Each structure stands twice: as C-alpha cells, then as structure tokens.
C-alpha cells in the first residue's frame, strides 16, 4: 500500500544577500524563500522551495501570498492523498486553482523529492536520467558601479568560479547603461561572455537603439528588453539584430513558448521551474522550444539551495543548454539552511547526488532564519 501525505508545511525564510542586488524595478538586500516540507505516513519528507525576485515588484506572487495559498488552498487537497500520485495531484491542483505557478512548483518539487527518496533514486532519474553532472553557471554583476563590477568579474575569472557574466540594466538612462556595459566588456575582453538583462524596462524604440549600441559593444545576449506581453516586439527585434534576445518574463509555460515562436521569435528562452509550475512542467516548455529551434538557458528566480537543486536536476536531462545556466542563487546569500551546500567550481556547479534532490535541511539554520 502506498504511503499517504500526512503533513504539508510552508515556512518563510529570510536570508540577507552578500550585497545589494540591483534590478530595473527594485533593489534586493534580503531574499525570502518559502520552504515546503511534505511528510508521508512512512516518515519520509520531501522538500520544495518557492522563491521570487523582489516580491510583488517582479510578479504576481509574493512569498507571503505563496504561503497563504499553500496553507489554505493546497494543503487540504493534499492531506490523506497517495504521496506517489504526482500526476493526479498536479491535475487536481490545476483544476481547483488558476495560476499560482510558484506555489505549485514548490509542491511538485517536494512530491518529486519524496518520490525519489521512496525509490532511492535521484530526482533526475525520475525525469529520464542526467546527461550532465556538472553544469555551467554565470554570475550577475549588479552593484551598478562600473569599476566594482570589473574588479568582481576579474576576481571570479581568476578563481575559475565564473567566466560568463550578466549585467542588470534599465534603471538608468539608456546611454549611461550602454557606457557601463561597454566599459565592462572592454575590460574583460574575450576571456568572458557578457550579457545584459533589461527586465522589461524599455519600449520597442528604446530597445532598438539599445540593442544596436550593445551589438556594437560586443555584448552576447539581451534578456527581456520589452514588456512581457508584447510578443510582437520581441519577434520584430529578434529579426532586426543578430545579437540574440533571451525571452524571460514573457514565458511562463509551454503555451507561452508556442505562441512566442508562432509570432516569429527566434533567440533563446530562460527556463524557470518556478514560472512553469515545477520541474515536470518546465521540461514541457523546453520540448516546445527545441521543436521551434529556440535556444535553452537554465534560469533562476534567485532560489536557495533547494530550488536551485531542483532546477539542476531538470537542466541535467537536457541535451544542450545553449546559453548555460544562472543557478548562482545560493552564492548570493550570506548563509544557507542545508547541511551540505552545492559545490561550485570550474565555472559551474555539480549536480547533487543522493535520493530525491540530494539535499538535507540544517534544522538549526532553518530555525535561525525562519520568519517569526
């Protein structure tokens, strides 16, 4: 007889960042994670995480709202149900609640972690098996200070921790941003890939001018230059420039991916388990992107170790990640709530081993950072 779900807990955890993390819409000094713990009748526990960027400044789900959704809407539906009936539970949650993909992602991750522990198999094995055990990871330079960003990048290159960098722009005047980015690219030269993330800050005319300048400066990729719902602008800009566009906020799931490809977009997509609704759902989106000839990139919501590990298990099953990953979330936080942190080295990170996610909670650290 299969085990049943006995408890579902959603815990708010606040961890300071190592430095202010500047985006076009806000600046972060603390990252809030919603840690989900699902226990079954055999005493096993599955872990999940729902994390967003900058609260409601970024998207429609806040950490507090995610906890409320799980506590008051998802938990009653899950208690007493077979813990290994993943598809049945996913369909039931989707029928009873619209959207709320971040909350659903945490639940799906916890159920997969629980199932992996029951079978004594890593999560990647449940998704078909890992093709990669070490994945490339870029770093975001987001201090806003040109020389500080250059020094930080050069140090990370020397340490072989990262060789690809992303710059958050869009909060300043266009040419101020361009000069900032161009100076960093000139200082790093060919030893590093430099990309930018505009976080929807430009209209199409500004994006056209900005992309022309960035293309001339040798920038490799421009992430989400225009507002998320303007698929036609992304398609026109992708046809106009040879510098690729990375679609991020525009895409939540496989349907969005299909619609953007049908609009004529070419470029790449930032896959995120949180936006898609979980590891299983994000791989559906990746399949549509591959069919449309659109490049893949392992994106992050700046998750901690639990959410990052779940993403890594999904990315490990993809044959080609054309633009690598940005799974650096745990490195942005001053501390961690797990027993064994992820191993970052050689410009990337190792896929965790062990059943499920391969991650264990540090109870003392969790108690220290749990919101009271």
Query: 272 catalytic, yes or no?
Result: no
Annotated catalytic residue within 75, 117, 166, 168: 168
pLDDT of residue 19: 78
**pLDDT tens across 15-61, in order?**
999 877 666 566 778 899 999 999 999 999 999 999 988 777 777 89
Structural domains of the chain sorted by starting position, each given as residue range(s) with its CATH number in brackets: 5-120+363-369 (3.30.390.10), 126-350 (3.20.20.120)
Q: Which residues of the chain have pLDDT under 70?
A: 1, 21-26
Query: 75 catalytic, yes or no?
Result: no
Task: For residue 318, give every residue at least 6 positions away whose Cβ sits within 8 Å of its Cβ, in sequence order, or none.
Answer: 131, 283, 286, 296
φ and ψ at 271, to 5 degrees?
-75, 135
Q: How far is CA 114 from CA 120, 354, 358, in A?
A: 10, 12, 11
pLDDT of residue 111: 98
What phi-psi label fits residue 126: left (phi over 0), alpha (psi between -120 and 50 degrees) or beta? alpha
Annotated catalytic residue within 49, 61, 152, 326: 326
Q: How far is CA 309 from CA 96, 182, 195, 352, in A?
A: 28, 33, 24, 7
pLDDT of residue 174: 95
Q: How far is CA 260 from CA 228, 269, 322, 344, in A?
A: 11, 10, 18, 34
């Amino acid at each position: 007889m299969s085990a049943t779900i006995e408890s579902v807990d959603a815990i708010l955890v606040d961890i300071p960042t190592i430095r202010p993390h500047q985006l076009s819409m806000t600046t972060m000094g603390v990252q809030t994670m919603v840690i989900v713990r699902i226990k079954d009748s055999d005493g096993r526990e599955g872990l999940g995480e729902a994390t967003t960027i900058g609260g409601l400044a970024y998207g429609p789900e806040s950490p507090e709202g995610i906890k409320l959704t799980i506590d008051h809407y998802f938990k009653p539906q899950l208690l007493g149900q077979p813990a290994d009936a993943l598809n049945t539970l996913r369909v039931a949650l989707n029928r009873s609640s619209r959207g709320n993909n971040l909350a659903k992602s945490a639940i799906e991750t916890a159920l997969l972690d629980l199932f992996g522990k029951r079978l004594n198999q890593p999560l990647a094995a449940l998704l078909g098996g890992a093709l990669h055990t070490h994945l490339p990871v870029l770093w975001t330079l987001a201090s806003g200070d040109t020389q500080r960003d250059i020094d930080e990048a050069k140090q990370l290159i020397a340490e072989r921790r990262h060789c690809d960098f992303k710059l958050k722009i869009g909060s300043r005047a266009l040419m101020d941003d361009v000069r900032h980015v161009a100076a960093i690219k000139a200082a790093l030269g060919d030893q590093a890939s430099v990309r930018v993330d505009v976080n929807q800050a430009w209209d199409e005319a500004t994006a056209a001018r900005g992309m022309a300048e960035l293309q001339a400066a040798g920038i490799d990729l421009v992430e989400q230059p225009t507002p998320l719902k303007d698929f036609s602008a992304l398609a026109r800009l992708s046809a106009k420039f040879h510098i690729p566009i990375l679609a991020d906020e525009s895409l939540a799931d496989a349907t969005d991916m299909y619609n953007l490809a049908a609009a004529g977009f070419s470029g790449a997509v930032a896959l995120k388990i949180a936006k898609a609704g979980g590891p299983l759902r994000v791989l559906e989106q990746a399949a549509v992107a591959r069919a449309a000839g659109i490049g893949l990139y392992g994106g992050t919501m700046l998750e901690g170790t639990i959410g990052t590990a779940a993403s890594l298990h999904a990315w490990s099953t993809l044959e080609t990640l054309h633009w690598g990953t940005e799974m650096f979330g745990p490195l942005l936080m001053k501390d961690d709530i797990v027993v064994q942190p992820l191993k970052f080295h050689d410009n990337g990170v190792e896929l965790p081993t062990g059943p499920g996610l391969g991650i264990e909670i540090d109870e003392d650290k969790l108690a220290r950072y749990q919101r009271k």
